[in-house]
Chains A and B, each alone.
Chain A
């Protein structure tokens, strides 16, 4: 692993190149706002997989996931059979992670996953209560549409699990990746959250935006005026 400011387009940002499975030492160096590229194996898992394994109690047909990969990507690839027994992976883009919040503690415990990768991060308290205590951090995709850059980083499909049962979007894909990224570190091992910090800064200016705008004639049932609330 190398660490340094190699990315010329962002001289102010620290970039990490990390081999998977990611070591505890490598993860400990991540700070919110750092940039990360990954090489090794990442796996996809989202509601379909969580539901099957955690709610229905089915056993994942591989018992050494932790040895192969400790990076869970909240993603559904644009994939299609290549006619040669494998798959053509087009674009790769994350899906919003907060929807999977309720599964995270059990999933990290069951699989030893240390990197959770997705779109938009998770609530700040998930980092302090669930991820950080388990030595796990959250990396967010960038954009969120860097599907082509991420697709380039996927060198091949190592395996795909439960494809027939769950379909392309929900199946567990294991990708061999090389310089897969960029990702931005959202949470670190102390439970800090980049998104939450930036949200606080944005929230500080919101009241001023509404100054002088009269309230609507008809309110919505259950409507709140607390604009610091998030929709997630």
Chain B
């Protein structure tokens, strides 16, 4: 049985709605743990208001944040998945985006970068972004949507091998402090750090680390996992909490992804996935049934493979 475009559209619409309204459990637990540790009165007030807000969103079935970001998709194709049409899948995602903008509703954020024209449906040239990956020995299709604001909290820098871990720490501090002031990064956030690759890959890895890995997840390389813990602690030692108020709630968790890079360089990117970390995943099974979850399971062992196979 092949997976139809109607099924794709239904799955994509449903994750758009779930992402906008339901805070993922891993993130919620992370924030609840931070409230207990936060000594700053104002920062603590903010976190509690956010917990109220997640409840209100669920109860009312309304978006938790009106800046529903730039809705986008990550598609993982099972190697043996049977699909009517690839172009059709892409169209299904665009149809779902248009419908979700109207019916959830999402804020139509997308405009032409120069002429500021908009279609009021979050569609346009090169929008929404769709990223593709593949998974061996599977007959399903996973579709993940992420709604992330786009103005503050991310940065890129070309560092060099000699800069070492110090350089990464310095750049992380630079980024978190610069965008943490007044809470422009909407912290506490899941901080994604991309290390290596080419410039564009570096940005992509950092963003995927922030948006597609859950709170509590650790990189399979034990030394990188240790660095994740270390950078998380570093971010929370800045003395800044929610909204840039005095406090300690900056980093809910830190996820690092690496990619082999040019021998002379060590590019680094930092991304912050905000207090309204919105992601949802649908798995379309071979029989056309759909199951939903909040862990995208994007970085599989196959995804991080080092060799030929």
The complex places the Cα of A96 from the Cα of B183 at a distance, in Å, of: 10
B103 near A145 with CB under 8 A, answer: no
Q: How far is the CB of A143 from chain B (nearest CB, A)?
A: 5
What CA separation (Å) do A91 and B49 show in the bound complex? 15
| Bound complex: CA A164 to CA B120 (Å) | 11
User: How many Å from the CB of A8 to the closest CB on chain B?
Assistant: 10
CB pair A147–B49 under 8 Å, yes or no, is no
Residue pair B106, A78 in contact (C-beta under 8 Å): yes
Instruction: Give the CA-CA distance A149 to B54 in the complex, in Å.
Output: 9
State whether the Cβ of B125 lies closer than 8 Å to any Cβ in chain A.
Answer: no
With A78-B106, A148-B60 in contact, do A231 and B178 touch (Cβ < 8 Å)? yes
Known contacts A33-B42, A210-B170, A217-B162: A146-B184 contact under CB 8 Å: no
CB distance from B112 to the nearest CB of A (A): 12
Q: Contact between B67 and A147 (Cβ–Cβ < 8 Å)? A: yes
Contact A143 B173 (CB under 8 A): no
**In the bound complex, how far is the Cα of B170 from the Cα of A213, in angstroms?**
7
A210-B63 contact given A80-B105, A145-B50, CB 8 Å threshold: no
B118 at the interface (CB under 8 A from A): yes
Closest-CB distance, B50 to chain A (whole angstroms):
5
Are A80 and B102 neighbours in the complex by a CB distance under 8 Å? yes
Does A167 sit at the interface, judged by CB under 8 A? yes
Inter-subunit contact A216/B163 (CB<8 Å): yes
B41 touches A10 (CB 8 A): yes
B42 near A198 with CB under 8 A, answer yes
Please determine whether B53 and A145 come into contact, CB atoms closer than 8 angstroms: yes
Residue ID in chain A nearest B160 by CB atoms = A217
Chain A residues within an 8 Å CB radius of B163: 214, 216-217
In the bound assembly, the distance between CA atoms of A218 and B160 in angstroms comes to 8
The answer to whether B184 and A96 touch across the interface, beta carbons within 8 angstroms, is: yes
Report the minimum CB–CB distance from A204 to chain B (whole Å): 8
C-alpha spacing A195/B181, complex, angstroms: 8
Q: Tell me how far the C-beta of B281 lies from the nearest C-beta in chain A, rounded to whole angstroms.
A: 21
Beta-carbon nearest neighbor of A201 in chain B: B246
In the complex, the answer to whether A145 meets B41 with C-beta atoms within 8 Å is: no
B240 — which chain A residues lie within 8 A by C-beta? 202
Interface string of B41-69 (1 = CB under 8 A from A): 11001101110111011001011111110
Q: Does A232 contact B (CB under 8 A)?
A: yes
Contacts of A167 in B (CB 8 A): 108, 111, 118, 120
Given the contacts A79-B105, A209-B237, A149 and B41 also touching, CB distance less than 8 Å: no
Q: How many residues of A contact B (CB 8 A)?
A: 60
A151 engages B66 (CB within 8 Å): yes
Q: Which residues of B contact A76 (CB under 8 A)?
A: 66-67, 107
Q: Mark A158-184, 1 if CB is under 8 A from B, else 0.
A: 000000000111000000000000101
Interface: A90 (CB within 8 A) = yes
Give the residue name and chain of the B residue nearest to A9 (CB): B48
Chain B residue nearest to A11 (CB atoms) is: B41
The residue among A33, A78, A92, A169 with the most chain B CB atoms within 10 A of its own CB is: A78
**Nearest A residue to B68 by beta-carbon distance?**
A78
Does more than half of chain A's interface fall in helix, strand or loop, or is it mixed? mixed
Most buried by B among A35, A92, A151, A220: A151
Nearest Cβ distance between residue A187 and chain B, in whole angstroms?
13
| A145–B246 touching, CB < 8 Å | no
Q: Which residues of A contact B48 (CB under 8 A)?
A: 9-10
Residue of A nearest to B182 (CB): A120
CA distance A4 to B246 in the complex (A): 24
How distant is the Cα of A121 from the Cα of B64 in the complex, in angstroms?
A: 21
Q: Is the CB of A143 within 8 A of B62?
A: no
In the complex, whether A61 has a CB less than 8 A from a CB of chain B is: no
Distance to closest chain B CB from A126 (angstroms): 13
Question: Which residues of B have CB within 8 Å of A201?
Answer: 239, 246
Closest to A144 in B: B186
Say yes or no: A93-B151 contact (C-beta < 8 A), given A143-B46, A213-B166. no
- The complex places the Cα of A217 from the Cα of B158 at a distance, in Å, of 10
Q: Which residues of A contact B160 (CB under 8 A)?
A: 216-218
Chain B contact residues, CB within 8 Å of chain A = 20, 41-42, 45-46, 48-50, 52-54, 56-57, 60, 62-68, 101-109, 111, 118, 120, 151-152, 157-160, 162-164, 166-167, 169-171, 173, 177-179, 181-184, 186, 234, 237-240, 242-246, 274-276
A-B contact pairs, 12 of them (CB 8 A): A9-B45, A78-B104, A142-B243, A145-B50, A145-B276, A147-B65, A151-B62, A168-B107, A168-B120, A216-B163, A217-B159, A232-B184
